[in-house]
């Protein structure tokens, strides 16, 4: 077929209409009485174990819509799969803003994926709630960013500070630090070393290991030889398992009274079930555990509704780590919109900066860059864990809050003693 100039013009016009049609159509839809909230989630790929975050959003949406919506409008949730890949995220958020015309945004999971869209959010002056994104707004200082997780101010270096506070209270003088050779772990380990210098604790052993390492026997023997009183560990799920097993098999010596801090993995049901009693005595970070000091309004009801959905979708059956915070992220939006009677991004942001919000994860107050004004990363100690399976972790007393002291639900048991018990 010969392409004439006239035919080419017609084809061009048809293609333009075709491309523009979805935007025109969705704009009309958005104006037709829905409030749209959008985000990406890692439904597939290496981070897909975090996909249970969507359940938190869905339960929030359902609750809001059941109560008559926001400002009388139905809330619509739009979630795209970012396949755990940072390169997919910018295009998804451009589509959410320009084509889907969403009113509010949640970030993807974690700092790595979020880093790719923070400049976009600031440039377009969009309201956005951070989902466990550590220190994502520290440099950009976007005034419409709000963090759903309790990392607190200076989160990048201080999120695990509670571990060192416990060490200080316990009179620890000699600390060993073991961290995976990744940005997240290294920053926390360096932050820990600085705290030790400030508080007069001697760092007797400082080891970084490659993230692919799966045998820790040599490393644990080196730690044992250094005879520390506390060991701060920053590890990822597979390493955390190998370290916990290594302690069981080789031991750490009698000098160690405090062990753990920044181990990723024991927040998830699969590792809790796998490690069982091997976790006893470890003091580690968490964001929520079912202890009596953390009975925030609505959290029990939320978890009760989460469990059957999680079982059906074969995701983490406990749901303590991420889902309550994605539900809380939704609550930030709904409470600010209801209070201001508006969906104006500036008005909603200003209200959140000026007011505290009660959520299922407690009361949240934001500083000028959207971090929680108070760090509330929990340091919990595994106590009395047996090999009876996952259900025991729904009970109080298995993950006892040691720090912050305001939420403490029990006393620290020295590491060796807790393991013998």
Partner 1 sequence: MVVLDLVLNALATGVMLGSIYALLALGLAITFGILHIPNVAHPALVIAGAYAVVTSNRFGLDPILAGVLWAVPFYLLGILFYEFYSRSFESRGGGNTLQSLTLFFGASLIVEVGLVVAYGTDFRSVNVDYVGSSLRLGMVAIPYRFLIPALMAPVAVFLLWLYLSRTNIGLAIRAVAHDERAVSVSGINPATIKRHAFGIATALAAIAGAALVITGPIDPFAGRIHIGRVFAIVVLAGMGTIPGTLAAGIIIGIAESLVMSFMSPSWAPGVAFAILLATLALKPTGLFGAAR
CA 141 to chain CA centroid, Å, is 20
Chosen residue from 55, 315, 332, 337 binding partner 1 by CB under 8 A: 315
Does 210 engage in binding with partner 1 (CB under 8 A)? yes
Site string for partner 1, 215-254 (x = CB under 8 A): x-xxx-xx--x-----------xx--xx--xx-xxx----
Q: 125 to each of 53, 59, 97, how far by Cα in Å? A: 25, 28, 11
Q: Which is nearer to partner 1, 204 or 336 (CB)?
A: 204
Q: Where are the alpha helices (DSSP H) in 148-253?
A: 155-158, 161-169, 183-199, 217-226, 237-250
Residues 272-311 that bind partner 1 (CB under 8 A): 274, 278
Chosen residue from 4, 31, 32, 314 binding partner 1 by CB under 8 A: 314
Does 345 engage in binding with partner 1 (CB under 8 A)? no
CA 129-361-159 angle, 5° bins: 70
Q: Which is nearer to partner 1, 95 or 221 (CB)?
A: 221
Does 31 engage in binding with partner 1 (CB under 8 A)? no
Cβ atoms of residues 42 and 81 within 8 Å: yes
Measure the CA–CA gap between 381 and 399, rounded to whole angstroms: 5
Minimum Å distance from CB 178 to partner 1? Answer: 9
Burial class (CB in 10 A: 0-12, 13-18, 19+), 122: middle
Chosen residue from 270, 345, 350, 355 binding partner 1 by CB under 8 A: 270
Does 271 engage in binding with partner 1 (CB under 8 A)? yes
Minimum Å distance from CB 218 to partner 1? Answer: 4
Which region, judged by CB under 8 A, interacts with partner 1, from 43-51, 145-153, 304-312, 366-374?
43-51
* Residue 286 backbone dihedrals phi, psi, to 5 degrees: -155, 165
**Cβ contacts of residue 223 below 8 Å, gap of 6+?**
176, 178, 205, 207, 231, 252
Does 316 engage in binding with partner 1 (CB under 8 A)? yes
Q: Which is nearer to partner 1, 150 or 319 (CB)?
A: 319
Cβ atoms of residues 405 and 289 within 8 Å: no
CA 173 to chain CA centroid, Å, is 31
Minimum Å distance from CB 241 to partner 1? Answer: 5
Q: Which is nearer to partner 1, 28 or 45 (CB)?
A: 45
Which residues are at the interface with partner 1 (CB under 8 A)? 44-49, 181, 207-210, 212-215, 217-219, 221-222, 225, 237-238, 241-242, 245-246, 248-250, 265, 268, 270-271, 274, 278, 314-316
């Amino acid at each position: 077929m010969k392409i004439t100039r006239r035919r080419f013009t017609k084809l061009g016009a048809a293609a333009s209409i075709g491309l523009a049609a979805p935007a025109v159509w969705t704009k009309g839809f958005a104006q037709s009485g829905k409030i749209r909230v959008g985000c990406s989630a890692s439904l597939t790929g290496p981070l897909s174990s975090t996909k249970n975050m969507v359940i938190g959003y869905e339960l929030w949406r359902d609750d809001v819509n059941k109560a008559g919506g926001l400002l009388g409008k139905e809330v619509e949730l739009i979630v795209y799969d970012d396949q755990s890949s940072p390169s997919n995220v910018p295009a998804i958020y451009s589509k959410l803003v320009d084509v889907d015309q969403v009113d509010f945004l949640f970030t993807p999971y974690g700092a790595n994926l979020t880093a790719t869209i923070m400049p976009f959010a600031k440039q377009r002056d969009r309201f956005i709630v951070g989902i466990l994104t550590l220190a994502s707004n520290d440099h950009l200082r976007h005034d419409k960013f709000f963090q759903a997780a309790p990392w607190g101010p200076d989160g990048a270096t201080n999120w695990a500070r509670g571990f060192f506070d416990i060490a200080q209270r316990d009179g620890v003088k000699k600390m060993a630090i073991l961290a995976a050779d990744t940005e997240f772990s290294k920053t926390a380990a360096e932050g820990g070393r600085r705290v030790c210098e400030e508080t007069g604790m001697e760092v007797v052993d400082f080891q970084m290991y490659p993230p692919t390492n799966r045998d820790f026997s040599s490393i644990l023997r080196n730690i044992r030889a250094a005879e520390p009183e506390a060991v701060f560990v920053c590890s990822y799920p597979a390493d955390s398992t190998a370290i916990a097993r290594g302690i069981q098999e080789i031991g750490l010596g009698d000098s160690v009274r405090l062990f753990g801090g920044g181990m990723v993995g024991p927040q998830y049901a699969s590792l809790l079930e796998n490690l069982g009693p091997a976790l006893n005595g470890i003091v580690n970070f968490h964001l929520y555990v079912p202890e009596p000091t953390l009975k925030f309004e609505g959290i029990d009801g939320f978890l009760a509704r989460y469990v059957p959905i999680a079982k059906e979708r074969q995701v983490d059956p406990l749901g303590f780590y991420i889902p309550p915070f994605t539900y809380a992220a939704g609550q930030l939006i709904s409470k600010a919109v209801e209070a201001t009677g508006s969906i104006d991004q500036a008005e909603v942001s200003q209200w959140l900066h000026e007011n505290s919000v009660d959520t299922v994860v407690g009361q949240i107050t934001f500083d000028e860059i959207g971090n929680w004004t108070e760090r509330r990363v929990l340091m919990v100690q595994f106590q009395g864990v047996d090999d009876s399976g996952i259900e025991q972790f729904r009970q109080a007393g298995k993950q006892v809050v040691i720090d912050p002291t305001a939420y403490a639900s029990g006393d620290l048991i020295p590491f060796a003693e807790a393991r013998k018990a």
